[in-house]
Amino acid sequence: MKLAKQVKTLAAALALGFSAAQAQAADQSLLNSSYDIARELFASYNEHFADYWKNKTGQTVEIRQSHGGSSRQAQAIIQGLRADVVTYNQVTDVDVLHERGNLLPADWREQLPNASSPYYSTMAYLVRKGNPKNIQNWDDLAREDVSSVFPNPKTSGNGRYTYLAAYGYAQQVFGDDQAAIDAFVRTFLNRVAVFDTGGRGATTTFVERGIGDVLLTFESEVNNIIAEYPDHGFEVVVPKVSFLAEFPVAVVERHAERNGNLELARAYLEELYSEDAQRLLAGFNYRVHNETVQAEFADQFPPLELLTIEQIAGSWESAMTEHFANGGKLDQLQRR
Amino acid sequence: MRTASHLRVGDQPWVKWSLISLALTLVGLLLVVPLVAIFAQAFSGGLQTYVANLTDYYTLRAIGLTLFVAALTVPINLVFGVFLAWLVTRFEFPGRKLLITLIDIPFAVSPVVAGLLYLLLYGSNGWLGGWLMDQDIQLMFSWPGILMVTVFVTCPFVARELIPLMQQQGREEEEAGVTLGASGWQLFRRVTLPNIQWALIYGVVLTNARAVGEFGAVSVVSGNIRGETNTLPLHVELLYQDYNVVGAFTSASLLAGIALLTLLVKSFIEWRQMRQRAALSEEEV
């Protein structure tokens, strides 16, 4: 049995090594389930929070991060991933935690300021060097000589926001004239060169395959893309009117309670609203509510009119059923 | 043997050479270029960036977890595969054929489906998951879950390598051993194992390669916790999503390296097996 014994010792040693490394000497540990591209943001905020918590309570805290597409992340929590807090980029993905898992209360949006959205962003344009097609606003995207790239609103939150932004703009311009609104959005959708399934795919299409004159994505993301591809000379254009993209946060109360982390989890999210944290968030190209920080970053964030989901479609629920469900407005307008 | 009137397809030089160059072009475009591209991208920031990416805390943890899971998967499937192959080639029993077919299920099922099955069974809404949660046992979204799906996906490899060989070898040698009074363990060590050792190693190499590279099933049950349940293949995707292309290719180059190493070991074993067979047939003559 020598071989079997050796194997056993090896496995035990490995297991020990792995789990020993895992149980780092922190007093408390918190699991944050987050969206895809927020890794650096939270790596930075977690450092800030760990210091803050240490000063306040004298305890060390280790914050573990899980990142992925936020709908899938929510699904994992319902299936048993014991995250203490969620920091997502879509309100509907937090709602799901209440509806299907009853893991947090229905009124989660009232638990923290600004509808539980400590920071926000909007849809902006990334155009090629020198903005050769002179793209400034939504009506430019309906022009015949312009082709745009953004992810499919059916599969991507990013794409949904873009669609709603264009729709909201049309509502503003055409008022009650539903036929004109529909016509505008139909043309806008017709000008799309490629519908990728996600934001990353759309970026690849625009940058590496060189398709389209304009890429539509979060303002926060646009700046990351410019930093990632400095040689292309891309430029950012922020339209005069756009959609308010909220980044909702919530404590997954049932899990946090179980993990004995309720107080820590609440403090983790509340601290996001502090001036230092807001400054840190602004540094990652997100817009924030704190007025001092807003003034500091005024150059970076041109003022614009932000339309809320309530203004455009009443609520997320009705937006989903009226616009994005099968046979909904989006499907009708896409039919060519 | 051959006359001008009996030219076969491909005998004419231009046919032969155009076929060869077509095949080579396809192999180059489909296999070689992407492989080279991985390494080219990984080293595009210079050696220092490569090392920096490699020694990044989360990359090291991903490597650690991947090796850890593989190190557990291989022995489990080694024992399971040998046991199963022994069972179906040395004994006759009702349902034997069915069992041989069942072994192939992990090959036939898409890994993502396998992952979902485990999630539906052991996730907190699943049949066993609720009970497990009450006992405070976390299988899914932690390393045991990753191990479970990896074992499932890789379980046919060893058995699949051994079954044909053991069928071909027959049981005469073992029966001779039994008549000479060998115990079960002696029989296995002295007779069976030497006969199957190269096929066994081959099976282990394949199991290991797949265990290290598995993406689909693992991604379903992983939960994507950085530094904790993120395996190397998942880490590649994650870095790519984060716009860290060089980092993604650095991790990918490790996986490609493992693949190349696997091929090398595989060729070596095939060469050994061929020599063994040649020696064997000489003896018989």
Question: What residue ranges do the domains of chain A occupy?
Answer: 26-120+246-296, 123-241+304-334
* Residue A251 CA from chain centroid, whole number: 17
What confidence tier does A4 reach under pLDDT thresholds 50, 70, 90? low
Predicted confidence band of residue A126 (pLDDT cuts 50, 70, 90): very high
pLDDT tens profile A37-83: 788 899 999 999 999 999 999 999 999 999 887 788 898 999 889 99
Contacts of B68 in chain A (CB under 8 A): 14-15, 18
The pLDDT tens digits for B131-158 are 887 788 888 999 999 999 999 999 999 9
Q: Is residue B27 part of a domain?
A: no
Q: What topology does CATH give the domain A26-120+246-296?
A: D-Maltodextrin-Binding Protein; domain 2 (3.40.190)
Pick A81's closest partner by Cβ from B143, B223, B242: B223
Closest-approach residue (CA) in chain A for B141? A81
Chain B closest-CA separation from residue A262 CA (Å): 18
Rounded to an integer, the average pLDDT of A215-238 is 89
Considering only CB atoms, B224 lies closest to which of A11, A18, A66, namely A66
* pLDDT bucket at A6, cuts 50 / 70 / 90: low
Query: What would the mean pLDDT of B172-195 be, rounded to a whole number?
Result: 86
For residue range A190-214, what is the model confidence (pLDDT) as tens digits? 999 988 887 888 988 999 889 999 9
For A156-177, the pLDDT digits (tens) are 888 899 999 999 999 999 999 9
Nearest residue of chain A to residue B235 (CA atoms): A67
Domain of B236: which CATH number? 1.10.3720.10
Q: Could you confirm whether domain A123-241+304-334 is CATH 3.40.190.10?
A: yes
Instruction: Report chain B residues whose CB lies below 8 A from the CB of A80.
Output: 123-125, 129, 133, 138, 140-141
DSSP character string of chain B: ---GGGPPTT-SHHHHHHHHHHHHHHHIIIIIHHHHHHHHHHTTTHHHHHHHHHT-HHHHHHHHHHHHHHHHHHHHHHHHHHHHHHHHHH---TTHHHHHHHHTHHHHS-HHHHHHHHHHHHSTTSTTHHHHHHTT---TTSHHHHHHHHHHHHTHHHHHHHHHHHHHH-SHHHHHHHHTT--HHHHIIIIIHHHHHHHHHHHHHHHHHHHHH--HHHHHHH--BTTTT--HHHHHHHHHHTT-HHHHHHHHHHHHHHHHHHHHHHHHHHHHHHHHHHHHHHHH-
Burial A291-325 (b: 16+ CB within 10 A, else e): eebeeebeeebeeeebbebeebbeebeebeeebbe
pLDDT at B275 over 50: yes
In a domain, B125, yes or no: yes
- Total structural domains within chain B: 1
Q: Is the pLDDT of residue B241 over 90?
A: no
Q: Do A80 and B129 touch (CB under 8 A)?
A: yes
Hey, of B117, B224, B231, B245, which one would you mutate to test binding to chain A, going by the most A CBs within 10 A of its CB?
B224
| Binary contact (A200, B138; C-beta < 8 A) | no
Chain B residue whose CA is closest to A75 = B223
pLDDT band for B68, please (50, 70, 90 cuts). very high
Q: What is the domain range of residue B103?
A: 45-284
- A76 and B141 within 8 Å at the Cβ level: the answer is yes
- pLDDT at position A204 is 87
pLDDT bin (cut points 50, 70, 90) of residue A20 is: very low
User: Is the ipTM above a cut-off of 0.90?
Assistant: no
B225 and A15: CB-CB below 8 Å? no
Contacts with B129 from chain A: Cβ below 8 Å: 79-80
Percent of chain A clearing pLDDT 90 (strictly above): 67
Closest-CA distance, A76 to chain B, in angstroms, reads 6
Domain membership flag for residue B174: yes
Position B58 in a domain? yes
CA distance A1 to chain B (A): 10
pLDDT at res. A189: 94
Q: Is residue B1 part of a domain?
A: no
